Amino acid sequence: MTVTIKYFGLVAEAAERFEEILELDGVLTASELKAQCLNGLAIADKESVQIAVNQNLDDKITLKDGDEVALLPPFAGG
């Protein structure tokens, strides 16, 4: 299956990309994909990064083909 990953803020900076399309095998939850994407990135507090699947902030979701996934660092609006 194919998912689109969007990177934001300090995650985009550490990953040196804003978006990529990933080919994934097998059954994977959002939290497993997050760990995989953040692995090796220079981010001090990986716990503070949230993952959204189709704009839904639930890391227990099982990914499916065509999902849009976003890796979101702490919010800083206002």
Partner 1 sequence: MDKKKPKKVFVQGAIPPEKIANSVANHQSKTEIGAHSIFLGQIRADEVEGKTVTAIDYTAYEEMAENVFHEIREAAFAKFDITCAHIYHSLGRVNVGELCLFVFTSSAHRKIAIEATNFFVEEIKAKVPVFGKEIFEDETHQWKVNK
Q: Which of 15, 61, 69, 73 binds partner 1 (CB under 8 A)?
A: 73
Decide if residue 76 touches partner 1 (CB under 8 A): yes
Strands (E), 28-76: 50-53, 68-72
The residues near 59 (Cβ < 8 Å, ≥ 6 apart) are 29, 30, 31, 34, 50, 51
Q: Stretches 24-32, 33-41, 66-74: which one binds partner 1 (CB under 8 A)?
A: 66-74
**Piece of 3-11, 19-27, 29-37, 59-67 that binds partner 1 (CB under 8 A):** 3-11
Interface positions with partner 1 (CB under 8 A)? 6, 8-10, 48, 52, 55, 70, 72-78
